[in-house]
Amino acid sequence: MPDAVVSPSELDRRTIRRSEFVSCNQAFIDCRTPGSDRKENYAMIGPGVSQAAGQFVNLRLPHGYNIGAAAMPHGITNNLHLHYTAEVFVCTEGEYLLRWGADGTEGELPLRAGDIVSVPTWIFRGFTNTGPDDGWLFTVLGMDDTGGIIWGPSVLREAEGHGLYLTADNQLVDTVAGDEIREGAELVRPMAQEHIDRLRHYSPEEMRRRIAATDELVWSENPFLDSSLPGAGARLSCVIGYGMTEDPHQEPRIFNPHGHNVAWLRAEPGQGVSTHRQHETQTLIVKDGQWEITLNRTDPVSVRLGPRDMLSVPQDAWRTLRNVGDDRGDLLVVNSGDGRVRLEWDEEVVKAAADAGLGIDHNGYVAPYALLPHAARR
C-alpha cells in the first residue's frame, strides 16, 4: 500500500487536546428536566447523537465510529434512551451508575475509573454520576451515521412541559428560546407500548459480562511482533473485538460486532510500540501518562499527548508510540471495523524480530521464525 504522509498541519488538525473540548449543555431534549439540566455533551470525532444544531465538533472526518464524552456534576442523570448502533462508555475518572430497561428498573451496575461497558443496541439505558463532580465518560458510538436515539416515553412527555420538542429528522425545537415548530413538521412521539413489549431484556448477570472492569482486565505480555525488542514491550488488553493483537492466545472480553474495536495499551516509561502501520482508521486517547506519537518514516512529525488528549491517526500512516513520562501509561486504542487489524511492520522491525527468532505466520500471529515457510521469511 502507498505511504500516507502526514504533514505538520494535518497532524495539528488531528490532535485534539483536552483544552480544546467544547461542551454543549443543550444537546438533548432533557436539558431542562430537573436532575438532568446540568449535563455537558462533547463531540470530538463526529457529531455522535447530539440533537443540537450548535453542537461543536472537533473533527468531522469519517472514521467508521464517533467519539465524544459525557460529563455532569454529582447526582445529575442522563435519562433513558436507546441507540441503533453500539454505545461504549469508557470511564476514565469518577464513578457512575448505569441502569437499563424501559423504566430503568431491569438492573443497575456501577462504573469506576478504568471500566469499559458496551451497552447493547435497542435497549433503554441511562446513567447517573454517583462520584465527584469531575467524573468523565468517553463514548465510542458505532458507525459514521448513528441514526440518532429514541428517548424513553416519560422523557419526551416531561420535555414537552418545558417547551422542548424533537422532530422526526432529529432536530431539537426549543419554543421557550423562540424556536417555532415549522408547518408540517413531524414530531417524535413516545414509543408505543406494543414496541416496548418487544424489546429484549438483559439481566444484571448478562450486562455484567459486557463490562471490562479495570481490576479484571487480561493483559498479553507479548501482543506484537516487536514485544521483545528494545524500546518496545507494550502490553495489550483486548476489550471489544480482537483488534490489533498478534498474540494467538489472546481473546477479547466482548465479541459481538460494533463497527470498531477497543483495547487498552499499556507501557512502562521508555517503552511503546515500534514503527508500523495499518489500513484501518485509529484513534489514540491517553488515560494516564505522557505519550509521544511519531508519524511517517521519512520527514517524521511528532506530538506529545497527556491525559484526555487524543490523536486521530490516518489510514496507512506509519506510526511509533512511546511512553515518554516517568510513570506507567495507558492508552485507549480505537480502530475501525469488525475484523482483525493486520499490522505491517517496518522492515527494520521485521529483521530485528527475525534475529530474535520471531516472525508472523500466515494467520497474522507471532510464531517461531525457524518454523515458518521459507516464503514467509524476509
Residue boundaries of the structural domains of the chain: 8-212, 217-376
pLDDT category of residue 27 using cuts at 50, 70 and 90: low
**Which residues, at least 6 apart from 230, have a Cβ–Cβ distance to it below 8 Å?**
none
Encode pLDDT of 169-227 as tens digits.
878 888 988 888 988 889 999 999 999 999 999 999 999 999 999 999 999 999 999 99
Would you say 86 and 50 are in contact if contact means Cβ atoms under 8 Å apart? Answer: no
Identical fold for domains 8-212 and 217-376, yes or no, is yes
**Which residues, at least 6 apart from 143, have a Cβ–Cβ distance to it below 8 Å?**
64, 65, 66, 85, 259
- The DSSP-derived string for 48-106 is TT---TT--EEE----SEEEEEEE--TT-EEEEEEESS-EEEEEEESEEEEEESTTS-S
Residues 342/347/351/352 CA torsion (nearest 10 deg): -80
R_g of the chain, CA atoms, integer Å: 22
Encode pLDDT of 320-345 as tens digits.
999 999 999 999 999 999 999 999 99
- Cell numbers for 339, please give them: 475484523
Please determine, for residue 378, whether its predicted confidence score (pLDDT) is greater than 70: no
Shortest CA distance to 16 belongs to which of 331, 309, 319?
309
For the ranges 20-24, 31-35, 331-335, which has the lowest average pLDDT?
31-35
Please state, in angstroms and rounded to a whole number, the distance separating the CA atoms of residues 270 and 125. Answer: 41
- Helix (H) or strand (E) run with residue 189 in it: none
For the ranges 29-38, 65-74, 323-332, which has the lowest average pLDDT?
29-38
Please state, in angstroms and rounded to a whole number, the distance separating the CA atoms of residues 231 and 227. Answer: 9
The CATH number of domain 217-376, selected from 2.60.120.10, 3.30.420.40, 1.10.3720.10, 3.10.250.10 = 2.60.120.10
Supply the DSSP symbol for 11. Answer: H
Residues 105/110/114/117 CA torsion (nearest 10 deg): -20
CATH of domain 8-212: 2.60.120.10
